[in-house]
Amino acid sequence: MAVRKFKPTTPGQRHKVAISFDTITASKPEKSLLVPKTRSGGRNDTGKMTIANVGGGHKKKYRLVDFKREKFNIPAKVATIEYDPNRTANIALLNYVDGEKRYIIAPEGLEVGMEIISGDKAPINIGNTLPLSALPLGTIIHNVELKPGQGAIMVRSAGSYAQLMARDGKYATVKLASGEIRRILVTCLATIGTVSNSQHQLQISGKAGRSRWQGRRPNVRATVKNPVDHPMGGGEGKHSGGLPRNKNGVPAKGYKTRNKKKLSDKFIIERRKKK
C-alpha cells in the first residue's frame, strides 16, 4: 500500500496523509461472515458514563475473523483482500475446497488466487499456519497463540511481526517487535509472514472530524478540567495540577502497574526495550 498526500484544497486536506487502497480487491464484505456490532457510547448498564471521550462514530458491522485456523490439511484459495473497519490490518476471504468461507488477517504479500493451508506438514509459505515445532528457526511470524487451541492473541495489528529464535524441549523462544523475548509452547500455532498494512502508522487524519467518525469524542488536558472531573483539575490560571496521575489517581509517569505475582512472568526471558 502506498501513502497518498493531498493538495490543500480545504483545511482538512492540507496535512492529510492517507493510505491508497490499491491492494484492496473488494468493496463489499461477505454477508454470511457479518454480525451486528453495538456501541456503548462509554456508558454502563445504568446509563452512566464510565469511559470518557467515547461516543458517536460511523455504524459498522463486525467481520468474523478466524484466529484459530483449526481447519487442518484443507487447502483454501484467497478470494479477496478487504478493508476491515474494526482493525488496523486488512483481512482476506478464504474459499476452502469443502465450500466453507472464512476471513483471516491478511499477511503482507498475500494475493488473490494464492493457496494457503494450515497443519503440521504445511509448506513454509506466506499465510500458512503451523505449530512452532514445525517452523524453521528465524521464521518471521504473526497471529501467535499463547495456549494451544486458544486462537491467536498476539501479533495481530498492522505491520507487526515476531521471530522464532530457538526451541528447547516443549518451549520455543519468540522475539516480539517490542524487543521482548518470551517462551511459548511449541504446540501453539503461528502464521508465516508480517501483518499487512504496515503503512498504517504513517496516516494523518487532517481534521478532528475524522476522529469523530471513528467514535472518539474530544479530549482536553487534565490540568484544565475541574476538580470534580479529574484529580489534577482546578487551581488558578496555569496551575500545574500537582503530580501527574490518571483519573483514578494512579501515578502516570514511571509507576509500574503490572502485578508482581503475574503467572506469565516466568515465560518472559527479556523485557521489552524501554524508551
**Confidence class for position 237, pLDDT limits 50, 70, 90:** confident
* The three cell numbers locating residue 269: 526471558
Domains of the chain: 24-200 (2.40.50.140)
Judge whether 180 and 159 are in contact, CB under 8 Å: no
User: What is the pLDDT averaged over residues 165-170?
Assistant: 96
Rounded CA-CA distance 127/105 in Å is 9
Q: What is the pLDDT of residue 26?
A: 94
- Report whether pLDDT(193) > 70: yes
Work out the mean pLDDT of the chain and round it to a whole number: 94
* pLDDT band (50, 70, 90) for residue 68: very high
Instruction: Quick: pLDDT tens for 211-232.
Output: 999 999 999 999 999 999 999 9
- What pLDDT is recorded for position 96? 97
Residue 188 pLDDT > 70: yes
pLDDT digits (tens, 9 = 90+) for 247-274: 889 999 889 999 999 999 999 999 987 7
Give 261: exposed, middle or buried? Use CB within 10 Å, 0-12, 13-18, 19+: exposed
Confidence of residue 240 (pLDDT cuts 50, 70, 90): confident
Rg (CA), the chain: 22
pLDDT of residue 169: 93
Residue 1 has pLDDT above 70, yes or no: no
User: Which residues have a Cβ under 8 Å from the Cβ of 14 and sit 6 or more positions away?
Assistant: 6, 8, 206
Instruction: For residue range 98-122, list pLDDT tens digits in order.
Output: 999 999 999 999 999 999 999 999 9
Q: What is the share, in percent, of the chain residues with pLDDT greater than 90? A: 88
Rounded to whole angstroms, the Cα distance separating 133 from 137 reads 9
Percent pLDDT > 70 in the chain is 99
- The pLDDT of residue 274: 74
What pLDDT sits at residue 273? Answer: 79
pLDDT given at position 239: 83
Tell me: the pLDDT tens digits for 26-60? 999 999 999 999 999 999 999 999 999 999 999 99
pLDDT of residue 254: 87
Residue 275 is predicted with a pLDDT of: 64
* Bridge partner residues of 198 (DSSP): none
What integer pLDDT is reported at residue 139 of this predicted model? 97
SS3 labels along the chain: CCEEECCCCCHHHHCCEEECCCCCCCCCCCHHHEECCCCCCCECCCCCECCCCECCCCCCCEECECCCCCCECCCEEEEEEECCCCCCCCEEEEEECCCCEEEEECECCCCCCCEECECCCCCCCCCCEEEHHHCCCCCEEECECCCCCCCCCECCCCCCCEEEEEEECCEEEEEECCCCEEEEECCCEEEECCECCHHHHHCECCCHHHHHHCCECCCCCHHHCCCCCCCCCCCCCCCCCCCCECCCCCECCCCCCCCCCCHHHHHEEECCCCC
The pLDDT value given to residue 17 = 95
Kindly state the average pLDDT of the residues 232-242: 86
